[in-house]
Copies of this chain bind each other. A is one copy, B any other.
Amino acid sequence: MLHIRDAVVGSIIPNELQLSLIEDLHMQRLRYIKQVGLGYLVYPGANHTRFEHSIGTMHITREILAQIKEKNEELECVGLMHDIGHAAFSHCSDALLEKHLKTTHEKVGEEIIRTTSIKDIIQNSTLSFPKLIELFSQKGYGELVTGSFGADRLDYLVRDAIYSGVAYGVVDYQNIKDNIALYKGKPATYQQGIVSIESLLIARYSMFTSVYHHHTNLIAQGMYENAVDSAIATGEMKPEELKTLNDFEMVERLRGIKVSNELITRVMNRKLFKRAYFNYIPDTVKMQEIFEALEKTGLKPEQYAAKTIKFKGDGSEIAVVNREGGFIGNLQELSPLVKTLTSTVDSRKRLIVSCDLENVGKVKTAIEKILGVSANSEPTAT
């Protein structure tokens, strides 16, 4: 009986089917896709991958199912495979998938499950393939994996926090799990779980602030996107490659392409652009305007990076129920903290523009001019 040791959730015992899936090339590939993408350039310990996160998510899915006293092998496998479609450096490639292939990692994942050896493994088992696909698309019980306090999030917040060496993500996982209920077929919480879910949502917000949206992380991400964009623009890289290359294959691929080589090498060696602009901007601003302004500075596209980000709060839809299953209210109504997270904090779009130090002044001025907003509301960390 194989036990997989994990630094976060302990000892995991996959069953035979799960082991076959884990051994499949598509799952093994996740060993080479870093969980927080280029975040290791900010937090040196954050080298963990989608592989261990996937196994951890399967384990937590199983524990949640035990809590609500349900058997659902398909859902456990969805927990295991929910990230199977991630491209190189995880979320760092999300915008690229959208831009060049009009797809998402979820859709790529579904494609893999529907068309590869994964399909054969499932079909040779006792599992229902249609049911698995339905759960994978986050319908019904699928939310137990990918929802506001689903297995996915319970795993990644704690895991990312531990590997990054920050404390924000340490949530009372045990209490959340112990209080998961079902309401109208969707995950809900008993009242005793409220304080822990508040904590979870706030931990998530803090992780965005300090890890996922750390400006250095975003700058590295911007440079990486540029490198890929250029490689595709020259036709030397095909958009389809995005779907299959893992982290290091992508790096080596970009190194071999002349227009991308310098940028990707700089990212790898952490010779990053500096922040020229990092502030909230009106939702109405279009990236087109930004790029035009940047072009007018005389700099070439590979000399700067620009992208917008948004923290999406959530939790408004979490039902709070009593032990008899009766509806008490929505979490957002019951918790002022959650309300703040889902209203005030939620709504703001931020722009980050970076370039080499000698061009920072020029770029900053150009952006401030078209936006009429000063360049920095954010901490100036090194």
Given A167-B172, A199-B206, A252-B249: A45 and B8 interface contact (C-beta under 8 Å)? yes
Chain B hits for A248, CB < 8 A: 247-248, 251-252
Cβ of A178 within 8 Å of any chain B Cβ, yes or no, is: yes
Give me the interface of A with B, judged by CB distance under 8 Å. Answer: 1-8, 10-11, 23, 25, 28, 31-32, 40, 43-45, 47-49, 51-52, 55, 162-168, 170-175, 178, 190-192, 194-196, 198-199, 202-203, 205-206, 209-210, 247-249, 251-252, 268-270, 322-323, 336-337, 339-341, 344-345, 378-382
Complex Cα distance A344/B341, Å? Answer: 14
Chain B hits for A4, CB < 8 A: 44
B382 touches A7 (CB 8 A): no
Other CB < 8 Å A-B pairs besides A45-B48, A47-B48, 18 of them? A4-B44, A5-B164, A6-B44, A7-B163, A11-B178, A28-B268, A166-B172, A166-B175, A167-B175, A192-B379, A192-B381, A195-B206, A195-B209, A195-B210, A198-B206, A199-B202, A248-B252, A322-B380
B337 touches A175 (CB 8 A): no
B336 touches A178 (CB 8 A): no
Complex Cα distance A379/B206, Å? Answer: 27
Chain B: minimal CB distance from A83 (Å): 14
> Nearest chain-B residue to A202 (Cβ)?
B202
A45 touches B40 (CB 8 A): no
> Nearest chain-B residue to A193 (Cβ)?
B379
Given A31-B40, A52-B44, A165-B6: A379 and B191 interface contact (C-beta under 8 Å)? yes
